[in-house]
Structure 1
Amino acid sequence: MDPIAVGYISVIALFVCLALGIPVAVAMGGVGIVGMYLAVGDLFVTGQLRSLPFATVNEYGLAVLPMFVLMGVLAEASGITTELFKTADMWLRRFRGGLYQAVIIGSATFAAISGSTTVNAVVFTRIAFPQMIKFGYSRSLSIGAIAGAGSFAAMIPPSITMVIYAIMTEQSVGQLLIAGVIPGLLTAVVYLAGIYVLVRLKPSLAPEITSVVSLQERWSALGRIWPIVVLIMLVFGGIYSGIFPPSAAGAAGAAGAFVFALFRMKSLRGWLVPALQDAAFISCIIFLILIGGLLLSRMLVVTGVIDELVILITSVADTPLKFMIMASILYLVLGCFLDTTSMMVVTLPFLFPVVLALDIDPIWFGIVLVKLIEISVITPPVGINLFAVMGAVGNQATFGDVYKGVFPFILFDLIVLVFLILFPELATWLPQTMIDG
């Protein structure tokens, strides 16, 4: 069979498998193996199966993934996150809608020690949602704020999403992580401003202020979140200053989180084993999806599909701006149906060669892609953060509440997306000031 025909049939088969609900890693890996077998024979397939899985999990750069996951899990298990939310609440309680603001600031801060959007969303649902309902906040907007702010973990370093992008496109992990700082903070500021405007336009979204926390209590609460500040400085400062590479920064962060957890919990019993199990489970799923996606990518390359698609896309989107707009529309649509890691692994083999052909800065494209992924995790019907929040709230809310509450935050993210496309310097300036390690 003609290799090109095999490639296109394989792409169709992949989407059929995804529509049937076959796990993404299995679908991509299976389609890639069968496609390579039909196009170039069993010897090539055997060689890939012998070398690619081991080469992927043995990649030193990917060591940062389980370390970042472990750091976030240990920080949550130690109760640091609860203290973070309480502190933000105390400082913002004097403002109407302060709990919304506390969720946003708390999530943005926790994102700096957790690379998972799902973990962020679940943690703050457990901590913040009961309090928000207790004090009379809007049920739907509370859920929307938690789900939307949970997406910060995709952009603010350490970000698992950025590490996967860097590995797949052979870019600097450190530069990508640092590039997410300004866009991440910009997103948080837009969220805060948007909530402020919403509450002023519709006061019923938040209760009237009934209690005031003294300045002494606020400063005392601030003193209890110093472990988070230390972890942020350890990871972010180490990468930015070049003291150690991202992989070592992940290990240092995980070790620091373990020490703080041990200090707070006094004993290993009851929390360490579940935390390690959660970190291992999340990491294994990510690695399986990566291996499946790389098998698919090899198939697309050897069949010649990639070369044809590059020519086709560059003939339609012949300028960087046109391509960025086209890619944005594609990811916004795909985000309604695919989870984030799968969406990135499936599409990058097609789109990244076009990025290089059009001489687009890979760091800028990566940040725009991550912003689109942030939007996708809160986009119905398959936004993973929506399911994470719904699973955590149980029967206290409906999907109607979720869809209604998350809509304003999708609009806020689209505003940030426009800024990132029009002003690439928001993503590229900070990495250029880094000290190489």
Structure 2
Amino acid sequence: MDPIVLGLGCLGGLIAMLVIGVPVAVAMGLTGIAGMWLGFGEAFTFGQLRSLPFAITGNYGYAVLPLFILMGVFAQRSGITTQLFHAADLWLRRLRGSMYLAVICASGVFAAVSGSTVVNSVVFTRLAFPEMLRLGYSKRLSVGSIAASGTFAAMIPPSIVMVVYAIVAEQSVGQLFLAGVFPGLLSIAAFSFGTLVLVRLRPELAPQLGEQVPFREKIQAAKGVWGVLLLVVIVLGGIYAGFFAPSAAGAVGAFGAAGIALWRFRGRLTGWFGQSLAEAASVSCIIFAILIGGLIFSRFIVVTGMVDYIGSSIIAMEIGPIGFIIIVSILYIILGMVVDTVSMMLLTLPFLMPIAIHLDINLIWFGIVIIKLAEISAITPPIGMNLFAVMSSTGGKVGYTDIVRGVIPFIVLELMILFAIIYFPVLSTWLPSKMF
């Protein structure tokens, strides 16, 4: 059988398996194994199965994934998220729509220690949504702001999605982390400004201004965010100053978050420590399963020659870097409707990276564009992961239609931010260029 025909057939089979609900890791792994078996024989297939899983799990550089996940879990268990949201609420209370702004700002800060869009969304749904309903905020815009703000964890370092891109594209994790700082801050500013404009145009979306909070109470609340700020300084400051590599930064951050949690629980390890380890291990195993399945499928696609075939076809079109970025953006927005973020990157990057290299595109900037598209995909109906994470965390108080309608204004804002990142590459490239 012609390898290209076999590759296209297996790609169609993979899409069919995803449509009927087969888990992504299983679908990619089985499709890749079947394709290699049919096209290249038993010996080749078993040779790949013996080496590829170990290439992921045995690589020291990949230890950064579970370490950053563990840091986020420890930070959440310590309660610093609650204090962060409380402080944001008090400082912003005199603005109309202050709870929306509190969610956006607090989620942006917590993104610097959580690393996961789903974790961010679930945490702030449980923390903020009941209070927003009680105060009379729009149910739809409330869940929309929570789901959309949760995507900050993809762009603001340390980010699990950035680590996945760095692994697949063989780029520096540290440079990617620094490249995401300004686009992440831009996202927070755009969401905040857009929300203020929206509630001004439609006052029914937010209640009247809250009571004035004494300045002393604001200062007291601000003191409670020291834990989050300390972790940010330790992790990003250590990477930027060159004190340790990103993989070591994950360990330092996890140790620091555990220390904060230990201080909060007065030195007791009972309950929270074991639960944190179990949760971090569970999330890490899921991500590594997807990585292994994606690597098996990607290897099959590479050996069939499909990567070269598709790459040469696009290059022959002479579309140039901007045309290529536009095609990638359209592809990711469409795929994001039906495939989760990590799986989408693993499916597409083997095709896209050779073309980006041929077009002499800066791969750090390209990574930030990909990650912003991944953010958009996380809130794009019908399969945006953050939508379901928020909806399931509301306890049945929100329907699917509510959250879709609530997130639409933020999708529009995300597309505007994407345009800015594409049009002004310096937003992503300046800070990494200053790295020691």
Scaled to the shorter chain, the TM-score interval is over 0.9
Following the alignment from structure 1 to structure 2, what is the Cα–Cα distance between the partners of residues 24 and 148?
23
Following the alignment from structure 1 to structure 2, what is the Cα–Cα distance between the partners of residues 133 and 149?
18
Identify the residue that residue 222 of structure 2 maps to in structure 1: 222
After TM superposition, the structure 1 = structure 2 runs for residues 21-36 of structure 1, keeping only pairs within 5 Å, are 21-36=21-36
After TM superposition, the structure 1 = structure 2 runs for residues 16-415 of structure 1, keeping only pairs within 5 Å, are 16-266=16-266, 267-316=268-317, 318-415=319-416
Following the alignment from structure 1 to structure 2, what is the Cα–Cα distance between the partners of residues 161 and 335?
14
Output the TM-score relative to the length of structure 1.
0.98
- Aligned partner letter, 1:305: M
Q: Segments of 4+ in structure 1 off by > 4 A? A: none
Q: How far did 1:5 drift? A: 2.0
Q: How far did 1:348 drift? A: 0.8
Counterpart check, 1:432 vs 2:433: yes
- Aligned partner letter, 1:332: I
Q: Does the 8 Å CA contact 2:93/2:210 hold for their aligned counterparts?
A: no
Q: Does the 8 Å CA contact 1:176/1:431 hold for their aligned counterparts?
A: yes
Q: How far did 1:157 drift? A: 0.1
Other structure's SS at 2:17 match: helix
Q: Which moves more between the two structures, 53-62 or 184-193? A: 53-62
Identical-residue share of aligned pairs (%): 55
Q: Deviations over 1:84-107 (max 9, x none)?
A: 000000100111111111000000
Q: How far did 1:317 drift? A: 5.4
Following the alignment from structure 2 to structure 1, what is the Cα–Cα distance between the partners of residues 130 and 378?
22
Following the alignment from structure 2 to structure 1, what is the Cα–Cα distance between the partners of residues 426 and 224?
36
Following the alignment from structure 2 to structure 1, what is the Cα–Cα distance between the partners of residues 242 and 198?
42
Structure 1's unaligned 5+ residue stretches are none
Q: Deviations over 1:292-334 (max 9, x none)?
A: 1111111111111111010112223520000000000000011
Q: Does the 8 Å CA contact 1:70/1:275 hold for their aligned counterparts?
A: yes
- Aligned partner letter, 1:231: L
Following the alignment from structure 1 to structure 2, what is the Cα–Cα distance between the partners of residues 383 and 275?
26
**Count of residue pairs the alignment pairs up:** 435
Following the alignment from structure 1 to structure 2, what is the Cα–Cα distance between the partners of residues 41 and 400?
48
- Aligned partner letter, 1:98: S
Q: How far did 1:12 drift? A: 1.3
Following the alignment from structure 1 to structure 2, what is the Cα–Cα distance between the partners of residues 264 and 280?
23
Identify the residue that residue 4 of structure 2 maps to in structure 1: 4
Q: Does the 8 Å CA contact 1:318/1:358 hold for their aligned counterparts?
A: no
Q: Deviations over 1:204-250 (max 9, x none)?
A: 11111131110000001111111111100000101111110100000
Q: Deviations over 1:329-388 (max 9, x none)?
A: 000011111111111111111111111111111111110010011011111111100100
Task: Check 1:232–1:308 CA distance in 2 against 1; reply closer, same or farther (3 A cut).
Answer: same
Following the alignment from structure 1 to structure 2, what is the Cα–Cα distance between the partners of residues 201 and 113?
34
Q: Does the 8 Å CA contact 2:93/2:209 hold for their aligned counterparts?
A: yes
Q: Deviations over 1:173-222 (max 9, x none)?
A: 11011100000000000001101100111111111113111000000111
- Aligned partner letter, 1:405: G
Structure 2's unaligned 5+ residue stretches are none
Q: Deviations over 1:98-140 (max 9, x none)?
A: 1111000000000000110000000000111111111111111
Other structure's SS at 1:34 match: helix
Following the alignment from structure 1 to structure 2, what is the Cα–Cα distance between the partners of residues 210 and 318?
53
Q: Deviations over 1:224-280 (max 9, x none)?
A: 111111100000101111110100000000000001001101221221122111111
- Aligned partner letter, 2:121: A
Other structure's SS at 2:225 match: helix
- Aligned partner letter, 1:35: G
Following the alignment from structure 1 to structure 2, what is the Cα–Cα distance between the partners of residues 301 and 379?
29
- Aligned partner letter, 1:110: F
RMSD over aligned CA atoms reads 0.9
Q: How far did 1:2 drift? A: 2.2
Following the alignment from structure 1 to structure 2, what is the Cα–Cα distance between the partners of residues 397 and 35?
42
Following the alignment from structure 1 to structure 2, what is the Cα–Cα distance between the partners of residues 317 and 241?
41
Following the alignment from structure 2 to structure 1, what is the Cα–Cα distance between the partners of residues 246 and 252?
10
- Aligned partner letter, 2:184: G
